[in-house]
Structure 1
Amino acid sequence: MKSFILSFCLAIFCLLNFQKSNAQEVLKVMTYNIHHANPPAKPDVIDLEAIAEVIRQQSPDLVALQEIDINTKRNGGVDQANKLAELTGMYAFFSKGIDFEGGEYGIAILSKYKIISSERFPLPFKEGLKAEQRSLAVIKVKLANKKELYFACTHLDLKDEHRMLQVVEINKILANRKLPVILAGDFNFKASNPAMAIMEQHFTRSCISNCAPTIPDDKPTSEIDFVFLKKGSKLKVTSHLVINDVHASDHLPVIVTYKY
């Protein structure tokens, strides 16, 4: 009887440790253009709690957010990056794009893990052609399994002339980093765009074929929100999912799970 109890306890111990080990080897990331928390069906409404609920339901480890307002008039003077961090229990890093309505507008990253370092890189645009300043946000984190990686977020311009310069610059910034790099965001181009070929010189998309569209939220037709992994990483994609029937923004969130 003692031998049976000992064997049973040992089996439970091994199972719990196996589950813990597996949990440490899985990384879940999200990219989400939140349209400054303005639901498309409600033009004058800012609903940051709805965005937070989308994030909480998916429980990602890392989140790339685009179209973030910081203390602007239209959002009532709220620091959306830090408020979302508070609502989701995560750490935040904001990267400014432009000054807007008395505050700032840009992109942000949320992380379940403490942010070791953070960097902001302004992205180039073609001289003589009107452009809105865009940026690349990069953080470094240490995961539960003690491995470190970089997580980056961006939101590229609407014009091809600017985007081509921006993807080249992103490759220059990230391609030679020694740690794994995950890059996510709203790239404002489809997979067939020539800019994608430039990105794929150093990065691999989480979904290559039969990928679900990400915009608009009500009847999605285009895939312009992507998650990339720098080539050479030991991370492997185990799932790629676009969350449908979510109407807190005009984009749908993309969820990608990696495993070491």
Structure 2
Amino acid sequence: MQRKTGELRVMTFNIQSGLHGLEGVAGVIRASVPDVVALQEVDVGSTRAGGVDQVAELSRLTGLPYRAHFRTTDLYGGAYGIALLSRFPLEALAQYPLPVPRGAEPRTLAHAVVLMDGREVSIYLTHLIRRPFNGDARVRQSALVARLMAADSRPKLLMGDLNDDPDSRPVRLLRRDMRDVVAATGGARGTYPMPFILPTLRIDYVLACDAFTPVSSRVLHVAVSDHYPVVADLRLKPESIPAVAERPAEAGAVGSAP
């Protein structure tokens, strides 16, 4: 799908290690035609995944040619973590461990740089420690994520499963410098179905810095994972060029030489 200059469509999707089938996950991604997809709970080579590299397989099934897996731990004999799929080449890949309580599952912040219309854009993704409980740990994790992103002057997005609601302290910390795209565009629907308990729980996010204008968003109520994916359309604002003040003419500099 050809987009206009500055247009970007992203998706965040916790795929539950593909337990409902990777083909269903891939079908949802293909139908949404995103440019960049942030994935959580992704297996590479585990017995649970039948030895499949889920990132490589989803890249093949969706036609998004660039991919990266960011391992957080080993489970079921393979690597487990978060991942990116992209139609843009992924550059400057990095990941940063996040603080967790002793004995808890490791968590990470992943980072990639893409070139969009000749400009570098930072894509961050994460999966914060699970709920319920662990609120203090999520606060520490969010504080570190915010500090790391604050040191990056590029236009940036943060996507992922934050495991907390929009008014929670961990999410508010991240919203100090980033905008909740779903809330800004009126698409605030639940992403984690818990019938009869909290049917509108929203814990999956696309957050954008001021370099982006949120255009639209939607939560896809599809039964291919225990989470619903979030799709967001954004527009990268034109790069501002600082005005150069005219220097006052020096005495005797105006006119022709005698």
Which TM bucket (shorter chain)?
A: 0.7 to 0.9
1:165 pairs with 2:140: yes
The answer to whether structure 1 residue 248 and structure 2 residue 224 are counterparts is: yes
Q: Which amino acid aligns with 1:137?
A: A
The aligned residue for residue 95 of structure 2 is: 120
Q: Equivalent residue for 1:223?
A: 202
State the SS of the aligned residue for 2:143.
helix
Detail structure 1 runs of 4+ shifted over 3 Å in the superposition: 217-220
Q: For 1:98 and 1:116, how far apart are their aligned partners in 2? A: 23
- Residues 24-43 of structure 1 mapped to structure 2, 5 A cutoff: 24-39=5-20
Q: Distance in 2 between matches of 1:221 and 1:98?
A: 30
Structure having the larger proportion of residues in helix:
1
User: What is the deviation of 1:147?
Assistant: 2.0
- The alignment covers a number of residue pairs equal to 228
Unaligned runs of 5+ in 2: 237-258
2:43 is aligned with 1:66:
no
Alignment partners' CA distance in 2, 1:106 and 1:216: 22
| 3-state DSSP of counterpart to 2:228 | coil
- 8 Å contact 1:125–1:161 — kept in the other structure? no
The Cα of 1:110 is off from its aligned counterpart by 0.8
Using the size of structure 1 for normalisation, the TM-score is 0.83
Q: Which consecutive residues of structure 1, in runs of 5 or more, have no partner in the other structure?
A: 1-19, 40-46
Identity %: 33
Give 1:140's aligned residue.
113
Q: Which amino acid aligns with 2:193?
A: P
- Work out which of the residue numbers 3, 17, 22 in structure 2 matches 1:48: 22
Partner of 2:254: none
What displacement does 1:218 show? 7.5
Cα RMSD (Å) of the superposition?
1.9
Question: Deviations along 1:87-140, whole A, 9 cap, x unmatched?
Answer: 1122111111111111111100111101122111111124x4x41101111110
CA distance in 1, matches of 2:195, 2:220: 12
Q: Could you tell me how far apart the structure 2 residues matched to 1:190 and 1:217 are?
A: 14
Residue identity opposite 2:105 in structure 1: E
| SS of corresponding position for 2:183 | coil
Look up the match of 1:149.
Answer: 121
Structure 2 SS opposite 1:240: strand
The AA in structure 1 aligned to 2:89 is: K
Q: Is the 8 A contact 2:37 2:85 kept in 1?
A: yes
- 1:198 alignment partner, one of 173, 191, 195: 173
Query: Contact (CA 8 Å) 2:11, 2:232: kept in 1 or not?
Result: yes
Distance in 2, Cα, partners of 1:99 & 1:189? 25
